[in-house]
Chain A
C-alpha cells in the first residue's frame, strides 16, 4: 500500500501558504526518513521548492475557493487528488519536529481518523472550549481536520462525498446541525463534525486518548490567564542548530500547528534545509 502526506495550499492576499507547505515538507524530510509528500495547489512554485515534493498536483476541477479570502473550499478534494492509498493530511501552517513514522502503523488500524485532542506548547491537553463553543452546544464530534488520515475505500469515500455537499451548502447544514452559537463562516472542522454526526461514526474515526495529536498554538487554548492576540507576541522561540525547537523553554515534539505565519521566519527555513 502506498503511503504519503498530502498538503493543500492556496495563497491569498496576506499569506504565502505555499511557502508554509514548503517548510512543512522540509521539516517532514528532516525528521522522517523516506516519506512521500504531495502538494495540491494551483499556485506557482519556485523551482527550488519543487524538489521537496514527490508530486505537485493541480486542484481538481474548478477552484471552489476563487474570490474567497480564507481558501478552504477545496479541502474536500484531497481524497480525490491524493495519489496514495493511505494519506495523512496536514494543514500547511504546521511543522514536524520529531520522528513520527511510527504513526503509520497506528493509523493503518483505521479507515479514517481525525485528531480530537490537542496539546498546548507545554504538552498539556487543551481543555479550553473557547474555540469549540459551537461543537459543544450542538453536541458535535470534537474533530480537528488539520491532522487527519484516510485509507482509500468505501468508508473514507462516503465521508468525503458528504463533506463536499456540506462544504458547498455549509449555511444550510449549520442551520440544521450547528444552529446554537452559530458560526458565520465555513470551517472544515465544523463541516467534518457535521458529516461525522450525520454518519454516526464518531467512535470509529477518532479517539480522544490517542497519541496521534498535535500542539495547537491558538492563544486561548494555552491555559494562560492573560491571553494575547497572537502567541508569537509573548512567547520566546528558539530553533537550535541541532534541530531542537523550544517554545517558551518547552521542547516541542510531534506536530506543531503554529497558526501564526510570522513564526515561520527565513531563519527557520534555512535551518530546516
Chain B
C-alpha cells in the first residue's frame, strides 16, 4: 500500500499558495518522511519560481485552471484585510487524483511539527478528520460557533487535514462532496448556512451527515492529536525551526495583541500574509 500526502495549491493574485506548499512539504519530509504530491493549476509557476521544488515535492498533479468568482476577506491581523479570490473548489477530487492508496490531505497553511500523523496510517479506519479544534487564543469569543456549520444545522467537521484510504465508502463520500459543491446554492439553503461562500468544511460536514443516515454516529473518528489554529486576526511574527511566536488578537482591544509561543505542534495558521513573510525568510537560502 502506497502512502503519501496531497497538498492543493492554487494561487490568487496576492497569495502564493505554491510557496506555502513547498514549506509545508519541507516540514512533512522532516517529520513524516512521506512522499508529497502537489495539486496545482499553475505547474509552470512552480517550476520557474521554485526550481529546487523536487527536494520536497515528489509528484505534480496538474489541475485545470478555472475562473474563480468566489472571494473572501483575508485579514493580516485586526487592522488590515484584503478581499481575494478563494480557489478551494477541487478538494473533493482528491480521491480520484491522489497517486497513493492511503492519503493524508492538508491545507498548505497547515504546518506539521511532529510525527503524530503517522499514527493515522496505522489506524484501522478508512477515514479520519477533526471534529473539534483548539484555538491558541483561549479568550477568543464565538468558539462555540465552530461546533455546528450553523446555529440549527449539523455537526462541523474540519477539512483542513484528513486521512483516507481508497475504499468503496470513501468513493461515495467524495462523489457526494463533489455533488454538494456543484449544487452548493441548494445545499446551503437546505442546511441553513447564511454565508454564500463555498467551504470545504461545510461540504464535508454535510456529506458525513448524509452518509450517517441523517444522524450523528461514531463515524468518522478523529485524526490523532489536537488541531491547533490561529485565525487571520493573529499574526505570526517569528518562525525558527519548530518554534512559532504569534501576536494573538487581544479581546476587546482592537489592534492590541498578546504574545504567544508554541513549539513542536501541528498548527493551522490562517493569517496567510504573515505566514508568507515568515516562510520567505526560511526558503530564501534554498
Q: Which residues of A contact B (CB under 8 A)?
A: 122-123, 222, 224-226, 234-236, 246, 248-251
Chain B facing A: main interface SS: loop
List chain A residues, Cβ under 8 A from B144. Answer: 225
Of the A-B pairs whose beta carbons lie under 8 Å apart in the complex, a sample of 15, sorted by A's number, is A122-B154, A224-B151, A224-B152, A225-B151, A226-B151, A234-B152, A235-B152, A236-B192, A246-B214, A248-B152, A248-B192, A249-B191, A249-B214, A250-B215, A251-B214
Q: Within B137-157, which residues are at the interface with A (CB < 8 Å)?
A: 144, 151-154
A-B contacts counted at CB < 8 A amount to 30
- Other than the given A246-B214, A248-B153, A249-B209, 12 more pairs (CB < 8 A) read A123-B215, A222-B152, A224-B151, A224-B152, A225-B144, A236-B190, A249-B154, A249-B190, A249-B191, A249-B214, A250-B215, A251-B213
Judge whether B216 is part of the interface by a CB distance below 8 angstroms. yes
Least CB separation from A251: chain B residue? B214
> Counting chain A CB atoms within 10 Å of each CB, which of B190, B192, B214 scores highest?
B214
List chain A residues, Cβ under 8 A from B216. Answer: 122-123
List chain B residues, Cβ under 8 A from A248. Answer: 152-153, 192
List chain A residues, Cβ under 8 A from B152. Answer: 222, 224, 234-235, 248
The distance in angstroms between the C-alpha atoms of A224 and B148, with both chains bound, is 10
List chain A residues, Cβ under 8 A from B213. Answer: 251
Least CB separation from A231: chain B residue? B152
Q: How far is the CB of A235 from chain B (nearest CB, A)?
A: 6
Q: Give 7 nearest A-B pairs by CB, closest first.
A: A251-B214, A251-B215, A225-B151, A224-B151, A248-B152, A250-B214, A226-B151
The distance in angstroms between the C-alpha atoms of A235 and B144, with both chains bound, is 20
Least CB separation from A225: chain B residue? B151
List chain A residues, Cβ under 8 A from B190. Answer: 236, 249
List chain A residues, Cβ under 8 A from B191. Answer: 249
Q: How far is the CB of B35 from chain A (nearest CB, A)?
A: 39
Q: How large is the interface on B (under 10, 10 to 19, 20 to 34, 35 or more residues)?
A: 10 to 19
The distance in angstroms between the C-alpha atoms of A250 and B154, with both chains bound, is 8
Q: Which residues of B contact A (CB under 8 A)?
A: 144, 151-154, 190-192, 209, 213-216
Least CB separation from A124: chain B residue? B216
Least CB separation from B210: chain A residue? A249
Least CB separation from A122: chain B residue? B216
> Counting chain A CB atoms within 10 Å of each CB, which of B151, B152, B190, B209 scores highest?
B152
List chain A residues, Cβ under 8 A from B151. Answer: 224-226
Least CB separation from B145: chain A residue? A225
List chain A residues, Cβ under 8 A from B154. Answer: 122, 249-250
List chain B residues, Cβ under 8 A from A225. Answer: 144, 151
List chain A residues, Cβ under 8 A from B215. Answer: 123, 250-251
> Counting chain B CB atoms within 10 Å of each CB, which of A123, A222, A234, A248 scores highest?
A248
The distance in angstroms between the C-alpha atoms of A140 and B10, with both chains bound, is 60
Q: How far is the CB of A260 from chain B (nearest CB, A)?
A: 15
List chain A residues, Cβ under 8 A from B214. Answer: 246, 249-251
List chain B residues, Cβ under 8 A from A122. Answer: 154, 216
Least CB separation from A253: chain B residue? B215
List chain B residues, Cβ under 8 A from A226. Answer: 151
Q: How far is the CB of A109 from chain B (nearest CB, A)?
A: 28
List chain B residues, Cβ under 8 A from A250. Answer: 154, 214-215
Least CB separation from A227: chain B residue? B151
List chain A residues, Cβ under 8 A from B192. Answer: 236, 248
List chain B residues, Cβ under 8 A from A235. Answer: 152
Q: How far is the CB of A123 from chain B (nearest CB, A)?
A: 6
The distance in angstroms between the C-alpha atoms of A235 and B151, with both chains bound, is 11
Q: How far is the CB of B145 from chain A (nearest CB, A)?
A: 8
> Counting chain B CB atoms within 10 Å of each CB, which of A122, A222, A224 scores highest?
A122
> Counting chain A CB atoms within 10 Å of each CB, which of B151, B190, B213 scores highest?
B151
The distance in angstroms between the C-alpha atoms of A123 and B214, with both chains bound, is 11
Q: How far is the CB of B157 from chain A (nearest CB, A)?
A: 15
List chain B residues, Cβ under 8 A from A222. Answer: 152
Least CB separation from B187: chain A residue? A249
Q: How far is the CB of A82 from chain B (nearest CB, A)?
A: 34
